[in-house]
Each structure stands twice: as C-alpha cells, then as structure tokens.
Chains A and B, each alone.
Chain A
Amino acid sequence: MNLPEKEHIRPLIVIPVYNHGGTLRDVVVRVLDVCADVLVVDDGSTDVNTREVIGGLPARLIRYEENRGKGEAILRAASEAKRLGMTHIITIDADGQHDPADLDRFMPVIREDPLAIVVGKRFFDRTVPFSSRFGRGFSNFWLKVQTGCSLKDTQSGFRAYPVAVLEWLKLRERRFSFEIEVLVRAAWAGIALKDVDISVHYPAPEARISHFHPLMDNVALTLLNTRLTIRAILPIPQRSFIAERDGSEKLSILHPIDSLKGLLGRNISPKQLALSAGLGIFLGSLPLIACQTLTILMTASYFRLSKLAALGTSQLCIPPIVPALCIELGYFVRHGRFLTEISFRTLGYQGLERIFEWVIGALILGPVIGALTGGIVYVTTLQLKKTMAHTGSRDVLKAKDGRQWTSRSVGSKLQHNIFYTIIRLGGHKAAYAVLNCVALYYTLLRPAIRKKADPYLTRRFKTGNPFKKLLNAHRIYVGLGKALIDRATLGIKGIEHMRIECGDRGVLKDLISEGRGLVLLTAHVGCWQAAMSALHSLNTPVSLLLHREEGDVDLHYFEHTRGPAPFRIIDPEGYLGGVLEMMNVLKRGEVLSIMGDRVFGDVKSTLSVDFLGSPVRVPFSPFKLGSATGAPIAVMFSHKSGPDSYELTVEGIIRVPHERGRPEKAFLPYAAQFALCLESYVERHPYQFFNFFDMWKEN
C-alpha cells in the first residue's frame, strides 16, 4: 500500500455529477483555475451530454451509462487516482455550492495528517432552511454516538480522502449514505476526521436541484444508522487501519483477549478506564429496566469510553444489593425513615413508588459508588500499566529472536505472585483449582499459546478432531501448570510437602560407585526440580547444565528455596559451553544432569534422530562426555504419580565406548536410544511432556 508522504501530496480533484449539467462547466472551469488534475465522474446523467458540456477543458471524464450512486462514483475515482499515482482525492459537488478556491484551505490540513479524512464545514446562516440545519445536526449526532468522533458537517460533499484509506475500508453503501458510512468506518479504523471551514453558496430554492429522495434516501440512512449503531455498541474491537498497516497487532473477533490487550495498550488510558467503570456503576444503579445495557453502551460510545469496562462494572449493580440500597436511600429521603416492611403491598402495589425512590436513591448513591469504583480502577490500572511496561515485552511467545528454545513464563510476575500466595494460604490443591480456569483461558482464548503444544500433540495423538485437539491442549497445559505449582510448592513449603519416590535409587548408587561419575540424561517432562530435590539422598554432589535467563520459569523454584540450592549450576553459555566444568564434575565422580531434548549453541553439535515418527535434533554432548570420561549415562525421567507425589524412574542406561576424534555419526545409536526412552515415556504419560519448542522444525 502506498502511503502519502508529507512532502508528496498529490490530490486529484473529483467532481461527481448526476444531472447537474447547468452548473458543471462553470465548476470545472473554476476548479481548473486552482488545480490541474481534475476528474469528472458522470454518474449516468440524462439531462445533457457531459462530454460536450466540458468539451475543450483539460479535465478527465469517466462516464457511467446508468446511475450507480455517488459512492460508486467516488470509489471509481479513487481507483483512477491510484492508477495515476495520486495520493488523495478531493470531492467537490457539481451543483456549484462549493467554492473551488477553498481547495487551498484543505492542503495545510492534509499535509499535517496525510491519513486524515478532511471534511469541509459549510457556514450556515439564517437563510439556510431549517430542515437542512436540523438534518446536519442529527447526522453529526449519530457520528458521535457511533464513533465518539466529532465533525461539524457530516453531510458536506466537499471532502479530501486519502486514496489508501478508501482502498482499505470495506464499504457497503453506494448511494448518498456512502458519505456517512465512510466517515464512521474510517473513524472506527482509527483514521482521524478533520474539519476545515469553507464558504457555501446556496442557490435560491427554486434553482436548487437536489437528488436527495426524501423517502428512499431517508429509509436508507435510517437503516444504515441502525446498522452502524448496533455495530458500534457491540463490545468487539474494530479493524484498525494503523495497526494493520504496521502489521504489529491485528484486531479480530477470534482473538478477543489479544484484541482487548491491544486496545488497552494503544487507546485507553487509566483515566478513561476509570471513567468507564464509574459510568457503568452509575448507569447500572439506575432502574433503566430493559434498556440498561443499551444505554450504557451508547453513552460509553458517545463519550469514547470503554464499553467493555462500563458493561463489566455495571454488572456489580445487579439486584439485589445495589437496587435495595438505592430504594432504601430514596425511601429515607422521602419519608425520613427506612423501609422495613418487605411485602407484596410495599413492593407490589406500591411498585411505582419504589421505582421512584430507586431513581432518587440511585442519583445519590450512584455517583458515590461510581466515583469509588472509578478510583479503585484508576489506581489498579496505573499499577497494572507499570507492571505491563515492566514485563510486557518479555512475553516469550512473541520472542522472535534467534533463540531456539525458551521456557520463559507466559504469565506476568503479578499472576505468578497470585499463585504463590494461593499456595502459601491454601496449599497446592487450592492452586490447582485456580489453575483449571487459567488453563481454560489459555486454551480457549490464547490460540497463539495453545498452538505451542501443537507440534508435539499432533504427532503424539494424530487426531484430526478439533474438539479432541482442544481437549488435549487443555490437558497438557493443566499438566504443565501442575508441574509449575508443584515446583513452587517444593520451594515455598519444602520438599517434605511432596512425596518423591525413586525405586531405582539402588541402580543410580551402583552406577555412581563405579567411580567415573554419572551423567543423568533428563528431558522436559514431569518436574525436574522434584527429581533434583530427591537426588540429595544419593549423597553425591549434583551439577546441572542449565541456562539461566531472566523470566525463566525454571528460576522460580530457586526464588523460593531457603538456603543453597541442592545442586550446582553450570551455564551452557559459559566458557566453552561449560565443558571444562562438566568434565571436572565427572572426573570427581559426581553427578552431572543434562537435558537431552534441549539444544544449546549451534546445530553442529546436534544429531538428527527420529522421535514420534519424524526427525528431531538432539545434542550429542552428553554422549561425547560419557565417551571421553567413561561415565555411564542414565536416562532418568520424573512423572507426577498422584496429587502429592512424583516418581523417578531410570528409563535406560547408555554406555558409550571410548571413541577417538570427532565423528558425530558414532554417537547416533546412543542418541537414538535416548529418543526411544522418551517415546516410551510419552506413551505412558502423554500430558507430562513440556518441551514446547518445535523440535521437529527444520533447522
């Protein structure tokens, strides 16, 4: 899409004409005085031969044989302008009511904001018929209701449109109502609407030729206004021209939360949100029976406030508490005492009295609780905005840098802290209850996050049933959430709060007693923190190859552990990928734990093996280390075996003979053995595999 630069504004002056043969030539001549690029679009005129009327003038002409409507003519002109390389079209009526000299007034406004639609505001004096003045005010009012934007003359035909905007908008109207629809939809899309003062020459009533059909066009306008108003008050975000152009965020019905977040981030200030909330409460407290929602939506729209926030808070006023309070208060104002008799007589026969008192009470109480709610919302959103500014950019799933894998958290610090508090107060089972809702939110409303599990789930389950897919995604996110809660519980409450069983402890002890160290090859399954916690019973120091990055969920465990972590950490991004430290660990006869399904560094140090039917890349450093030092490799996974327990199992023991040199292929059988262990694990525990990096993606 070619967007106009400030320096290169090239307007095409467009004169749509339908049966204004008498004034057309004069208008064209006067426009040509000011601007050389003029296009007449003859919308099927039958009064004169337009070609002859403007004959000899250097203006372009497009003619429709039949009348198609002004909207059609304008859109046709826009595509012609695009073909000619023009950035804007400026429409001017053919009836001579506009002064082409006013074109000069448009240019500075267009230059200031080349994406704005600029509308000429006609100066109306007393000679202008009342019906015209009323019509204009009425039309302006609807624009304000539907978009929250104000224009002083929404019925003016003297306008400048950016070609790119007309091209982008989806418009349905083709006749008079086009000029209303285009303004509303443009405003919704975030396009600025601007006024510019113009002069107007209204011919004497008997000389006026109007093609406005009082019945048909009024019906069309009413239908359009109804449609636009309904659309305006639906609390669903509109497509935004600016955002789509930048490709940054898209608004869509299918992604309401993302859209809302975008909307929040972009347009709504804490003050606006607070006002919306307060408005919702105030209107919610009034007895606007059967039209409360509509009133709230339209009022919020009018004042350009958040419809969702207003609707949301108004729900706090549903009966019985707030209406009862209002009625009591109103009753007290009228009678000096409270209403104590709740009976069919007082609420039934005297129903109208009560409604009157309700109104009185609401007028007093509404503003008070409205202001109170607004204040709370204001403080909260300010706080939230700070947190968002802090953590918002850390959202993993949007990370598009070269990093291959990350386990950074998807929630904000605030959300994590809420969970920690729940664990502290109610234990991990209370946190599970909340988790179910959170997981449901992610699976249903955050498709971007849900899809993270797709590469694994499609291969593991091979189902085409969308419902089953959704269910699987939900189950795996519940699984992940439980693992996260459990690890936090281990950190916060201590390892005695989880039972961690390791039937294969004897096997591990035997391997360690060989004296050449032990490589524990693990994966992103179960809860490795639980596994690590259990290893202290081996009475051998444990080191862990783990890249610590900010916001990493893995770190949350360490935040809570009191005292030193039960293991040492080796950073794979350290000197020589940490191999010197790893070698030393093994040479000392200690335990080294490595994630076998996570690739660090370059592809060179990986091998391709089959996992769930297609090739994935896994690191071969564990096998190389085993080969160089003679340390045995134990493939060890953990799985959640009950609400309070984990089980550690040794899934296989891999011994890599000493290989000389660097042939990677020599390590292939051992890597394949690891993949088989992992396959057998996901067969048994399908919802405990949490490697959401797409392992299968071609490198």
Chain B
Amino acid sequence: MTVKEKLKKIIIEELKLEEITPEEIEDDAPLFGEGLGLDSLDAVEIVVLLEKHFGVEVKSLDEGKAAFQCINTLAAYIEERQAR
C-alpha cells in the first residue's frame, strides 16, 4: 500500500467520513474548504493521526501550511519526514 492509499484510508476512518471511499478522494483536490470539505477542527484530527499512524509531528505553521494542501502534498511531507 502506498503512503497515499494508507493516508486516504486512515483519514476516512479517523474522521468518520462514511459517505466517501478512498478511491473517490482525488490526489490534488484541496482538503479544506471546497474539495474534500474539511474544516479547521478536522485539522486537529489530521495532526493527531499523522502522529499516531506515521510518527510525524507538525512542528511549525509554515510546514503545516505547505503540507495541508492536498493528499499529494501531505504524502510528500510524510515521506520526507520519515526519510530523515
């Protein structure tokens, strides 16, 4: 399973997005606002799940801003941090 696939599966589980399947999440659709339609409180869950499932901590706001764009950027962020 690639990082992207795992990420989508976990996001759906953790955020209880019941009406959507991993395949339906587009890699480059925005996570917040339009696109997946998550809100700032879902961001709280994403921070938690990144730590729990990937061992990645979002340390700064700038990192978070860059990473939280879409599945692509989030997966790239995870891979980059895990490689360190």
By a beta-carbon cutoff of 8 Å, the part of chain A in contact with chain B is 575-581, 583-584, 587, 601-602, 604-605, 620-621, 624-625, 628-629, 660-663
Assess whether B65 is in contact with A624, with CB atoms less than 8 Å apart.
no
Name the contact of B41 in the complex, choosing from A575, A581, A621, A660 (C-beta under 8 A): A621
Assess whether B57 is in contact with A576, with CB atoms less than 8 Å apart.
no
In the complex, which residue of chain A has the Cβ closest to the Cβ of B32?
A: A576
Q: Is B53 an interface residue (CB 8 A)?
A: no
Assess whether B57 is in contact with A661, with CB atoms less than 8 Å apart.
no
Instruction: Report A-chain residues with C-beta under 8 Å of the C-beta of B39.
Output: 602, 604-605
| Complex Cα spacing A601 to B43, Å | 15
Given A579-B44, A605-B39, A605-B41, the answer on whether A584 and B16 have CB atoms closer than 8 Å is no
Contact mask for chain B residues 60-80; partner A; CB cutoff 8 A; 1 contact, 0 none: 110011001000000000000
Instruction: Report B-chain residues with C-beta under 8 Å of the C-beta of A602.
Output: 39
A-B contact pairs, 13 of them (CB 8 A): A577-B40, A578-B40, A579-B47, A580-B61, A580-B64, A580-B65, A583-B58, A584-B60, A584-B61, A628-B47, A661-B14, A661-B15, A662-B45
Q: For the A-B complex with A577-B43, A621-B41, A624-B44 known, give 8 more contacts whose Cβ atoms are closer than 8 Å.
A: A580-B68, A583-B58, A587-B57, A604-B39, A605-B39, A628-B48, A660-B14, A662-B41
Chain B proximity of A578: nearest CB distance (Å): 8
Instruction: Report B-chain residues with C-beta under 8 Å of the C-beta of A663.
Output: 16
Q: Is B59 an interface residue (CB 8 A)?
A: yes
Chain A proximity of B30: nearest CB distance (Å): 12
Q: Is B42 an interface residue (CB 8 A)?
A: yes
Instruction: Report A-chain residues with C-beta under 8 Å of the C-beta of B43.
Output: 576-577, 579-580
In the complex, which residue of chain B has the Cβ closest to the Cβ of A619?
A: B41
Given A628-B48, A660-B14, the answer on whether A579 and B41 have CB atoms closer than 8 Å is yes
Assess whether A662 is in contact with B40, with CB atoms less than 8 Å apart.
no
Chain B proximity of A577: nearest CB distance (Å): 4
Assess whether B45 is in contact with A580, with CB atoms less than 8 Å apart.
no
Name the contact of A575 in the complex, choosing from B42, B47, B48, B65 (C-beta under 8 A): B65
Assess whether A580 is in contact with B47, with CB atoms less than 8 Å apart.
yes
Chain B proximity of A626: nearest CB distance (Å): 10
Assess whether B61 is in contact with A575, with CB atoms less than 8 Å apart.
yes
Most buried by A among B32, B44, B48, B65: B44
| Complex Cα spacing A625 to B40, Å | 11
By a beta-carbon cutoff of 8 Å, the part of chain B in contact with chain A is 14-16, 32, 39-45, 47-48, 57-61, 64-65, 68
| Complex Cα spacing A624 to B45, Å | 9
Assess whether B58 is in contact with A625, with CB atoms less than 8 Å apart.
no
Chain A proximity of B14: nearest CB distance (Å): 6
| Complex Cα spacing A578 to B41, Å | 10
| Complex Cα spacing A604 to B61, Å | 24
Assess whether B44 is in contact with A628, with CB atoms less than 8 Å apart.
yes
Chain B proximity of A625: nearest CB distance (Å): 6
| Complex Cα spacing A587 to B41, Å | 16
Chain A proximity of B75: nearest CB distance (Å): 18
Chain B proximity of A618: nearest CB distance (Å): 14
Assess whether B16 is in contact with A583, with CB atoms less than 8 Å apart.
no
Instruction: Report A-chain residues with C-beta under 8 Å of the C-beta of B65.
Output: 575, 580
Assess whether A583 is in contact with B14, with CB atoms less than 8 Å apart.
no
Most buried by B among A580, A584, A605, A629: A580
| Complex Cα spacing A576 to B41, Å | 8
Assess whether B40 is in contact with A661, with CB atoms less than 8 Å apart.
no
Chain A proximity of B61: nearest CB distance (Å): 5
Name the contact of B40 in the complex, choosing from A579, A584, A587, A628 (C-beta under 8 A): A579
Assess whether B57 is in contact with A605, with CB atoms less than 8 Å apart.
no
Assess whether A662 is in contact with B42, with CB atoms less than 8 Å apart.
yes
Instruction: Report B-chain residues with C-beta under 8 Å of the C-beta of A576.
Output: 32, 40, 43, 64, 68
Instruction: Report A-chain residues with C-beta under 8 Å of the C-beta of B32.
Output: 576
Most buried by A among B40, B47, B60: B40
Assess whether A580 is in contact with B48, with CB atoms less than 8 Å apart.
no
Instruction: Report A-chain residues with C-beta under 8 Å of the C-beta of B41.
Output: 579, 605, 620-621, 624, 662
In the complex, which residue of chain A has the Cβ closest to the Cβ of B60?
A: A584
| Complex Cα spacing A580 to B58, Å | 8
| Complex Cα spacing A42 to B40, Å | 76
In the complex, which residue of chain B has the Cβ closest to the Cβ of A660?
A: B14
Assess whether A583 is in contact with B42, with CB atoms less than 8 Å apart.
no
Instruction: Report A-chain residues with C-beta under 8 Å of the C-beta of B47.
Output: 579-580, 583, 628
In the complex, which residue of chain A has the Cβ closest to the Cβ of B40?
A: A577
Given A581-B61, A605-B39, the answer on whether A660 and B44 have CB atoms closer than 8 Å is no
Most buried by B among A575, A604, A624: A575
Chain B proximity of A301: nearest CB distance (Å): 61
Instruction: Report A-chain residues with C-beta under 8 Å of the C-beta of B42.
Output: 662
Chain B proximity of A425: nearest CB distance (Å): 43
Instruction: Report B-chain residues with C-beta under 8 Å of the C-beta of A584.
Output: 58-61
Instruction: Report A-chain residues with C-beta under 8 Å of the C-beta of B57.
Output: 587
Instruction: Report A-chain residues with C-beta under 8 Å of the C-beta of B44.
Output: 579, 583, 621, 624-625, 628
| Complex Cα spacing A660 to B14, Å | 6
Instruction: Report B-chain residues with C-beta under 8 Å of the C-beta of A575.
Output: 61, 64-65
Chain A proximity of B62: nearest CB distance (Å): 9
Chain B proximity of A417: nearest CB distance (Å): 36
| Complex Cα spacing A263 to B31, Å | 53
Chain B proximity of A193: nearest CB distance (Å): 59
Given A580-B58, A604-B39, the answer on whether A661 and B45 have CB atoms closer than 8 Å is yes
Instruction: Report B-chain residues with C-beta under 8 Å of the C-beta of A661.
Output: 14-16, 45
Chain B proximity of A668: nearest CB distance (Å): 15
In the complex, which residue of chain B has the Cβ closest to the Cβ of A575?
A: B65
Instruction: Report B-chain residues with C-beta under 8 Å of the C-beta of A581.
Output: 61
Assess whether B40 is in contact with A601, with CB atoms less than 8 Å apart.
yes
Instruction: Report A-chain residues with C-beta under 8 Å of the C-beta of B40.
Output: 576-579, 601, 605, 621
Instruction: Report A-chain residues with C-beta under 8 Å of the C-beta of B64.
Output: 575-576, 580
Given A576-B43, A584-B59, A628-B48, the answer on whether A662 and B16 have CB atoms closer than 8 Å is yes
In the complex, which residue of chain A has the Cβ closest to the Cβ of B67?
A: A580
In the complex, which residue of chain B has the Cβ closest to the Cβ of A584?
A: B59
Assess whether B59 is in contact with A660, with CB atoms less than 8 Å apart.
no
Instruction: Report A-chain residues with C-beta under 8 Å of the C-beta of B68.
Output: 576, 580
Chain B proximity of A273: nearest CB distance (Å): 52
| Complex Cα spacing A54 to B11, Å | 91
In the complex, which residue of chain A has the Cβ closest to the Cβ of B47?
A: A583
In the complex, which residue of chain B has the Cβ closest to the Cβ of A570?
A: B61
Given A624-B41, A624-B44, A628-B45, the answer on whether A660 and B61 have CB atoms closer than 8 Å is no
Instruction: Report B-chain residues with C-beta under 8 Å of the C-beta of A629.
Output: 48
Chain A proximity of B36: nearest CB distance (Å): 13
